[in-house]
Amino acid sequence: MKISPLQKARYEYSPKLPGMLRNGISDICVKEGEPTQSVADQDKIKALFPNTYGKKEITFQKGTNTSVAKKQVVGVILSGGQAPGGHNVVSGLYDALKAADRNNVLLGFRNGPSGLVEDDFVEFNDEFINEYRNTGGFDIIGSGRTKIETPEQFEAAAATAKKHGLTAVVIIGGDDSNTNAAVLAEYFAANKLGVQVIGCPKTIDGDLKNDDIECSFGFDTATKTYSELIGNIERDANSAKKYWHFVKVMGRSASHVALECALETQPNICLIGEEVAAKKMSLSQIADYIADSVAARAAKGMNFGVAIIPEGIVEFVPEFGTLIGEINELLAGEKTEEFNALPTWADKYAFIKKGLTPASFAVFDILPEAIQKQLFLERDPHGNVQVSLIESEKLFSALVADKLEQRRKEGKYNGKFKTQHHFFGYEGRCAFPSNFDADYCYSLGYNAFMLIQYGYTGYLSKVSNLSRPAEEWVAGGMPITKMMNMERRNGEDKPVIRKALVDLNGNPFKYFEAHRKEWSENTCFTFPGAIQYYGPTEVCDLTTRTLALEKGTMSLDD
């Protein structure tokens, strides 16, 4: 077998473009809006981007194409973690570029931005592109996490551009990659190299969004895949009635994925990192919050349930952050050797007790032993605790078990608490893009070419009005600098795209907040099922509840 039946069928899918882009390249005109300002730190950002700052927002419309014809040689780069739809950005870009002029050239730089630096590339043709249409993954050219930052890297990138006669580079990536795209655009402009740079907003984490970018691509497909699995587990839990399932989902710096999955599946518990941070919740408080649900359900005879845990949750718990800091301090430099020389865990434990503040030791003390050991024994090359390795789903189920035993002794709980653990991340990053992501990504790529043709640089390809049918989508572009502010990174102030955390005053969280008590004590599970690419439009074309709630196509009362 070379390809699956679904892959074969998906090759035939024609992604839907925004209505304004449907009449052919020669019938797309541009409408310029007002000049833009960065969201904060305007003077600093302007000083850093003198050639690309303050440009106008633009929108495309139906009308005669007024761009100046020239041969385009465009390079495309996939940057960072995989997200469903990346291949469609490339195919949309390719189709627009070839529709404008068959002699235009699209090059793919391999394995991320390093491909541009190292001139590792492939030239696309129809046959090549056709094997990747509407498919998941970034295997078309691979991806990578290199940033173009040093003078040598900039010069190498410029040399590659010169060698191929590049007129533009399209960078498909998350907030960091698009920040890098803006820096590269400024470099090319400052040096008058005649190479435009356009970014496309990608990340399953959903944390690249703002007033202009309604959502990053891949979030829809990834959350639908995780929600499929969580729904299946819920149905299993409600059939077998004997397990509490603790499901960790990807998302380290923001809890958008967990929240969307909760809106799709109505689990008993979903932790939201941003809320934990805002309320300065302790591990003990979180465990009590979950134990309350377990106990309330047990009192009704329901010794089962489902809890969604965001991957990065412990990093939002203030006391845990303090503990990690103290541990890193405690074992800094030579002290690691002293610690390692202690013969038994009991000796090490005494050393830890002596070295931590009483507050942090109290936090350490309630952790399950396996995690206590992990904190001290599995450290990164710099000697730091590897927070990302902590299995937070197991941490919380263990803490909850302790709470329940305590309550049992106090006569407040008399249930059973058997657990199963799951982690969903890699399962969703390379799924076949949903129709929404297939359409959105194809439009982003197609639109990126329009921005190139009209001479823009330092822009993010922007497609909006996404909670409506594709016909009504609005295509255009926004200067990346508009989304930037200055932030402290590794001890330096850096211009970066502001990361979007879950807004505790936003409708998605408010909807969750209004329903979660009912969900926690009763069984209100909903089962989204597998992503459908065919069938009724409400089954196969709708995007996330997060977007529907943000844009008002779903109300808080629904």
Task: Catalog residues that contact its own copies under the rule CB under 8 A.
Answer: 1-7, 9-10, 81-82, 111, 135-139, 142-143, 225, 228-229, 231-233, 235-236, 238-241, 245, 264, 266, 344, 420, 422-423, 426-432, 526-536, 538-540, 542, 558
Distance, CA of 327 to CA of 385 (rounded, Å)? 8
> Closest separation between CB of residue 424 and its own copies, Å?
9
> Closest separation between CB of residue 189 and its own copies, Å?
32
What are the backbone angles phi and psi of residue 351, rounded to the nearest 5°? -60, -45
In 210-257, the DSSP E strands lie at 244-249
Please, which residue, 40 or 514, has the CB nearer to its own copies?
514
> Closest separation between CB of residue 236 and its own copies, Å?
4
> Closest separation between CB of residue 487 and its own copies, Å?
27
Please, which residue, 231 or 312, has the CB nearer to its own copies?
231
Residue (of 188, 190, 218) closest to 205 by Cα position: 218
> Closest separation between CB of residue 166 and its own copies, Å?
24
Strand, coil or helix: 76:
strand
Please, which residue, 118 or 139, has the CB nearer to its own copies?
139
Please, which residue, 253 or 532, has the CB nearer to its own copies?
532
Please, which residue, 232 or 336, has the CB nearer to its own copies?
232
Residue (of 85, 89, 67, 69) closest to 77 by Cα position: 89
Distance, CA of 22 to CA of 143 (rounded, Å)? 30
> Closest separation between CB of residue 211 and its own copies, Å?
28
Are the beta carbons of 309 and 283 closer than 8 angstroms? no
- Helical (H) or strand (E) element with 58: strand 56-62
> Closest separation between CB of residue 523 and its own copies, Å?
9
DSSP letters for 262-326? HHHH--SEE--HHHHHHTT--HHHHHHHHHHHHHHHHHTT---EEEEEETTGGGG-HHHHHHHHH
- Residue 293, sorted as left (phi over 0), alpha (psi -120 to 50) or beta, turns out to be alpha
Q: Return the sign of the alpha-carbon dihedral for residues 399, 404, 406, 407.
A: positive
Distance, CA of 511 to CA of 278 (rounded, Å)? 18
Please, which residue, 349 or 527, has the CB nearer to its own copies?
527
558 flagged as catalytic: no
Please, which residue, 300 or 534, has the CB nearer to its own copies?
534
Torsion from C-alpha of 320, 309, 498, 108, nearest 10 degrees: 120
Are the beta carbons of 138 and 86 closer than 8 angstroms? yes
Please, which residue, 296 or 542, has the CB nearer to its own copies?
542
What are the backbone angles phi and psi of residue 12, rounded to the nearest 5°? -85, -10
> Closest separation between CB of residue 387 and its own copies, Å?
18
> Closest separation between CB of residue 347 and its own copies, Å?
12
Distance, CA of 96 to CA of 100 (rounded, Å)? 6
Strand, coil or helix: 23:
coil
Catalytic pick among 175, 205, 212, 439: 205
Strand order of the sheet with strand 305-310?
Answer: 269-270, 305-310, 244-249, 419-424
Please, which residue, 6 or 159, has the CB nearer to its own copies?
6
Instruction: Give Cα 436 distance to the centre of its chain.
Output: 16
Distance, CA of 558 to CA of 543 (rounded, Å)? 16
Distance, CA of 347 to CA of 436 (rounded, Å)? 57
Active-site residue numbers?
205
